[in-house]
Structure 1
Amino acid sequence: MIDAAFFETWAFKWAILPALIICARILDVSIGTVRIIMVSRRQKLISPFLGFFEVMIWLIAIGQVLENLTNPLYYVAYGAGFAMGNFVGIKIDERLAMGFQVVRTITKKDAYELIEALRDSGYMATNVLADSSAGPVNVIWTVLQRADLEEVIAIIKSFNPHAFFSIEDVRYANEAIPPFRRRSNIDVARRLMPFARKGK
């Protein structure tokens, strides 16, 4: 058992407790950031689950601040944890790479090779001839899973390093988006642990 006097020591009040507040805020804000992203992507099951833990952790953190209103260090710790939590939440979302995106590629070069390369890799590609201020162009739409974005960009750049492309989030797709790759829990875990060593 920890002696009650320990909680009154200088080390606990000015070092350990502020660090715990920062960690709690990082955890609850990062969970909240991911929860908001999940809500926008219509993840109905995981969003309430994340919301429960987000509020529970927040209550613990704010409770410690309210009990020690005379200590300005706790305010700093609370704010620092909030700022860092937003950053961590965004990085987690980038690692998870859930949802869909659409890549719009515009090129003056004949797009036949690019379309064939995308389709050979299992991606859907829709080509439209259009007029621009620079003359006739090809506009290629590709809807894909976020986890496949880097591969598609590599295909586009290998076709034409100077091709213009833009990327937009897709809120909802009424059909499965090829290539049909089933992502296992191991794949998700690997994305969350960028420094994990690959199997030998």
Structure 2
Amino acid sequence: MDFINSNFFQGDMFTYIVLPLLIFFARISDVTVGTLRIVMVSKGQKAIAPLLGFFEVIIWLITMSKIIQNIDNWVAYVAYGAGFATGNYIGLIIEEKLAVGIVQLQIITRKSADNLIAKLKASGYGITYHNAQGATSEEVAVIYSIIKRNEIQKVIEIIRTYNPNAFYSIEDVKFINKGMPGLAKPNSRWRKGK
């Protein structure tokens, strides 16, 4: 039995198929965890980010030790690179699905924004708005709102329905200093000012 095991680990099948696949999946894991760690750092998640960092580094060290042990195996290099690329992609998809955090939404609309403003208010979104002058001296309305990241699609649908030609931008928000109705509860993870 030991003879079979030692032959398996030294054979071409292990060296050029099994080992590269293990490296590929390990690299996917550590890069995915790393992507999520970066997101948690940017969101101020002090408890989760270090834990993710620990697992990210452990997986990376194990993977790198196998690369160094098989330094002449070009298939392992390809698997390492492919795992890195795939891990980035998967990490971003997971981060998008988690939709952690809050964002600031800025909407600029050329036509009257009254219906859009009314619908956003009726849907429970806190908004601030003012009239402004656009680059071509035309009157525009500028609307601001802070919303939960997992509600972006819902708000975009409202914009498309009530003012489809509106320009909007979305930015991540790390900190709010006052609670907003329906956004930050007193015991939520979003810090509030005193």
Report the 3-state secondary structure (helix = DSSP H, G, I; strand = E; otherwise coil) of the residue aligned with 2:141: strand
Q: Which runs of 4+ in 1 moved over 3 A?
A: 175-182
112-121 or 151-160, which deviates more? 112-121
Task: Tell me what 2:156 maps to.
Answer: 153
Shift of 1:18: 0.2
Alignment of 1:26-65 (within 5 A): 26-65=28-67
**Tell me, which stretches of 5 or more residues in structure 1 are unaligned?**
183-200
Q: 1:85 aligns with which of 71, 84, 87?
A: 87
Q: Cα RMSD (Å) of the superposition?
A: 1.7
TM-score (norm 1): 0.85
The answer to whether the Cα contact below 8 Å between 1:145 and 1:177 also exists between their aligned partners in 2 is: no
Quick one: structure 1 residues 32 and 83, their matched pair in 2 at CA, closer, same or farther if it must change by over 3 Å?
A: same
Task: Tell me what 2:19 maps to.
Answer: 17
170-179 or 95-104, which deviates more? 170-179
Q: 1:127 aligns with which of 115, 124, 129?
A: 129
Quick one: structure 1 residues 69 and 177, their matched pair in 2 at CA, closer, same or farther if it must change by over 3 Å?
A: farther
Deviations 1:55-105 (A, max 9, x none): 110011001000011111111111111111111111111011001111111
The answer to whether the Cα contact below 8 Å between 1:22 and 1:77 also exists between their aligned partners in 2 is: yes
Quick one: structure 1 residues 75 and 177, their matched pair in 2 at CA, closer, same or farther if it must change by over 3 Å?
A: farther
Task: Tell me what 1:140 maps to.
Answer: 143
CA distance in 2, matches of 1:20, 1:178: 48
CA distance in 2, matches of 1:23, 1:54: 13
Shift of 1:176: 4.0
Give the counterpart letter for 1:147 in structure 2.
N
The answer to whether the Cα contact below 8 Å between 1:24 and 1:81 also exists between their aligned partners in 2 is: yes
Task: Tell me what 2:120 maps to.
Answer: 118
CA distance in 1, matches of 2:179, 2:10: 58
CA distance in 2, matches of 1:177, 1:148: 15
Report the 3-state secondary structure (helix = DSSP H, G, I; strand = E; otherwise coil) of the residue aligned with 2:142: strand
CA distance in 1, matches of 2:47, 2:33: 15
165-174 or 79-88, which deviates more? 165-174
Q: 1:70 aligns with which of 66, 69, 72?
A: 72
Count of matched residue positions in the alignment of Structure 1 and Structure 2: 182
Shift of 1:179: 3.2
The answer to whether the Cα contact below 8 Å between 1:144 and 1:178 also exists between their aligned partners in 2 is: no
TM-score (norm 2): 0.88
**Tell me, which stretches of 5 or more residues in structure 2 are unaligned?**
186-194
CA distance in 2, matches of 1:155, 1:20: 46
Shift of 1:129: 0.9
